Amino acid sequence: MLSNDEAVAQFKEILGSKEGWRYLKDSQFFSHLSTFQAWALRSAQFDAERTLQEFFLSTALNRSSISAQAEDKGYLPRTPFPSFGGIQVKNNGVNPVTIPIYQGFQSNIGLQYLIKYPITILSGQSAEATCYQLTRTVVSTVVPETTPFFEILFDISLTASIHQVDVDISDESGFVTWSLSRQLRNAGPASTVYDLFYSHDGQIGVRFGNGIFGKKPEASNTVRCTLWLTSGDTTLLESLPLLPIGTVTDSMGVQASIDIKTITKITGGFGGESTEELRKNLMYWPLYNDNLVWLEDYEFFLRRQIPEIRWLKVWGEKEAEAEAGFSNAGNINSIFVSAYIHGAVDTEARIVSVFNAIKLYNRRIRWVAPEFVTANITLAGKISRQRTIENVSSDITDALSAAYGKDSATRRDRILIKDVYQIVSDTKNFGDSGASFAVTVSGTTQTEKLKQMLCLGTISFALEYL
């Protein structure tokens, strides 16, 4: 790159050699004009260098440049995951009420939720269900012509909210559900599969086969894509009301009289990949390609396949025998897996199904149910009278739950007293003159067994005013 002085000198030499400018060569105007052009050239050089840096994953800053790398490598970023929790529906009418599958509800802050299974409530009774911070929208496309690798791109305004995509395609008998097959692997000419892809402009789309790797949709077929949308990391507190979206009727077709409220906090969701996460994952993803376990890194593989895992521990025969204190021939080539997924009752089945989809050769997956151990925190202190004990307690409880809660997406694996003090201090409730606090941690603060998951137990407060 030219220095500023070199650029000025070259510009003076070029312009001074031209007829009509040589008489101005030594003027102040000529000097200032040369300086201005040198600055313009230097700015253009900086822009060119910055643009060149966007070609490389390690130096790219713009999301679109990193997204282009993702599209080139066939990488699909992690999609957002919805918050979920329990609700109670009370039937105040005289007739039974059945709430249909995927019935939507709305909170007082505008967030929408749905249930994944129908529920029936008898007169005067209540029923409980799990609801998810999800909405469903359908995008229908008529295939204009039979073409290889037919694609449908979803609107960019939807991409950041897409949690899941279901695809159905019409044929002579009606709509048929097609299956997701990443990068159309193990797909033949008649395989009714599709792939999800991420485009350079940040859109998610579906791509179908070419008649060799996956079946081609026929011309005039209707492709119906059901998009499950979520806001990701949201929270709705316990005992808050929900309103049904649309009309819910009882068994006589009359509008039902029902009350709906949350019975647990609806939380646990998280957003999609940030730009920096996308960059880092792209650096390592080609080794795994969602299809391999590389150098025994089973944890990375499992977290890629099941991103909602809250806690995961994987170990082999060496660690198992070191913990047991003796050798066991039954542990040979065994991979032990213990995991916790917030709200899931089929964790073992999901883990096994993920491993069944790849070749483990002589490895055997053995499931170990997690053992939960807890640490209890007691906090005593004095606060300013400008604050309320209830608000201070709530702030600290939320902060500690985010760091150590069993269902927290940001939970830590160890509870250290210095970290607890820092978390409480960061709430800024004890920054007033004379305010102070002391923390005591009891119970288990560090796991002793491989299958143990450490999480927060009870939080006790002994607060008083200054």
Residue 226's pLDDT is what? 95
Measured CA to CA, the distance from residue 299 to residue 313 in angstroms comes to 7
Question: Which tens digits make up the pLDDT trace of 336-373?
Answer: 999 998 877 788 888 888 888 776 667 788 899 999 99
Question: Is the model's pLDDT at 291 over the cut of 60?
Answer: no
Question: Is the model's pLDDT at 293 over the cut of 60?
Answer: no
Question: Which tens digits make up the pLDDT trace of 208-235?
Answer: 999 888 899 999 999 999 999 999 989 9
Residue 288's pLDDT is what? 59
446: Cα separation from own chain's centroid? 28
Instruction: Please give the residue that has the higher pLDDT: either 177 or 7.
Output: 177
Measured CA to CA, the distance from residue 407 to residue 201 in angstroms comes to 34
The percentage of residues in the chain with a pLDDT greater than 70, rounded to a whole number, is: 92
Residue 82's pLDDT is what? 92
CB–CB of 304/288 below 8 Å? Answer: yes
Question: Is the model's pLDDT at 259 over the cut of 90?
Answer: yes
Give the chain's mean pLDDT. 86
Can you name the residues that pair with 339 across neighbouring β-strands?
312
Residue 134's pLDDT is what? 95
Measured CA to CA, the distance from residue 122 to residue 148 in angstroms comes to 53
Residue 22's pLDDT is what? 66
Q: Please state which of the ranges 5-14, 50-59, 66-75, 377-386 shows the lowest mean pLDDT.
A: 5-14
Measured CA to CA, the distance from residue 154 to residue 144 in angstroms comes to 17
| Strands lying side by side in the sheet with 112-115 | 243-244, 104-106, 112-115, 126-132, 84-91, 258-262
Residue 274's pLDDT is what? 86
Q: Please state which of the ranges 46-55, 218-227, 310-319 shows the lowest mean pLDDT.
A: 46-55
Q: Please state which of the ranges 46-50, 112-116, 190-194 shows the lowest mean pLDDT.
A: 46-50
User: Would you say the C-alpha torsion 21, 22, 23, 29 has a positive or negative sign?
Assistant: positive
The stretch 290-319 carries a mean pLDDT of 77
Residues whose CB is less than 8 angstroms from the CB of residue 387 and which lie 6 or more positions away in sequence, other chains included: 429, 432
Question: Which tens digits make up the pLDDT trace of 260-271?
Answer: 999 998 988 888
Question: Which tens digits make up the pLDDT trace of 418-431?
Answer: 999 999 999 999 98
Measured CA to CA, the distance from residue 395 to residue 437 in angstroms comes to 14
Instruction: Please give the residue that has the higher pLDDT: either 140 or 38.
Output: 140
